[in-house]
Amino acid sequence: MSKISAAITAVGAYVPEYVLTNQILETMVDTNDEWITSRTGIKERRILKDEGKGTSFLAIKAAQDLINKKGIDPKDIEIVIVATATPDMKAASTAAYTASEIGATNAFSFDMDAACSSFLFGMSVAASYIESGRYKNVLLIGADKMSSIINYKDRATCIIFGDGAGAVLFEGNDEGLGLQDEYLRSDGTGREFLQATYGGSSHKLTAEILEEGGQYAFQEGRTVFKNAVFNMADAAVKILERNNLTKDSVDWLAAHQANKRIIDATAQRIELDDEKVMMNIEKYGNTTSATLPLLINDYESQLKKGDNIIFAAFGGGFNWGSIYLKWAYNSKN
């Protein structure tokens, strides 16, 4: 009996309508389009401005897009995982609500948070469920409403982040396609450099903290940049070496869209040509858990069955890693 591998068989995505351009940001903080573009590669990002709508709204929209494209009955979905750093609420699962709203009433659901590596780590978890043979399909959604934890007076963070969601369906494959290998790592000593401190169990949210803006995300840019450049590239190199892959045998690099300079450094480290590097950071900015599935959705029409894709990500915690996946289908688009 051949070993079951876990392959992506469908994708979907959603981004909000409102576009926050660099020009608009110039009116909000001390910055300009040239400064932002040269340092990050970002031109615009999408923001969910509708009152009362959170990450679940984005996740539901992305899941519905996938369901419509794939033609799958939601009741046949067995597991729903929402990878997110910005859940709707504490304690109440965003994934459970998402599953109910899309009609996946036979699925069990849970959230995953590894900051910007959430979707990458979620790929490993989803694949493990499929490879176990106990489940036939897993819906993995990466979604974040980063605007809910961003201070739009802090130019170190407000120029970077946006809102969005992407979804993929993992199913069993007997052709050797799908997830081939993974290299995932964490270092908790790095959490002081990238986090949203207050509101967690160790840092109570008070009226005074709210007045000071302590509820918003914070990052020490230089430290995060240095660690991201080294660790994302290092993880990608290790995956290539372990699987005897050369730059010629890699078809695509799907790297977390945090900063164009980090993506370029990762591509250069594995000596990959620019045309093999997926890039949409200029349109969406850093959507945290949503960057990787948004990439796959944007490039779906260019992907061919058997393509070798190297995923790489780095996020707060610190968490990082790389995954090697063989694409499982030719797009009908």
Encoded tokens for 260 = 């164009």
286 strand-pairing partners: 161
Give the torsion sign (CA, 301, 164, 129, 136): negative
Residue 239's contacts (CB-CB under 8 Å, 6 or more residues apart) are 181, 182, 183, 245, 310, 322, 323, 324
Bin 288: left if φ > 0, else alpha if -120 < ψ < 50, else beta: left
Catalytic residue (one of 158, 173, 231, 256): 256
The CA distance from 19 to 1, in Å, is 51
The answer to whether the beta carbons of residues 118 and 124 sit under 8 Å apart is: no
End-to-end CA gap in the chain? 34
* 158 assigned to active site: no
Q: Which helix (H) or strand (E) holds 96?
A: helix 94-102
* 116 assigned to active site: yes
Catalytic residue (one of 22, 137, 286, 319): 286
Q: Is the peptide bond before 318 cis (omega within 30 degrees of 0)?
A: yes
Residue 26 CB-density burial (10 A; 0-12 exposed, 13-18 middle, 19+ buried): middle
The CA distance from 140 to 125, in Å, is 9
| Closest-CA residue to 303 (of 280, 325, 271, 270) | 325
Catalytic residue (one of 22, 116, 137, 158): 116
Q: Cα dist. 38→31, 176, 228 in Å?
A: 12, 41, 18
* 333 assigned to active site: no
The CA distance from 294 to 62, in Å, is 10
- Residues marked active site are found at 116, 256, 286
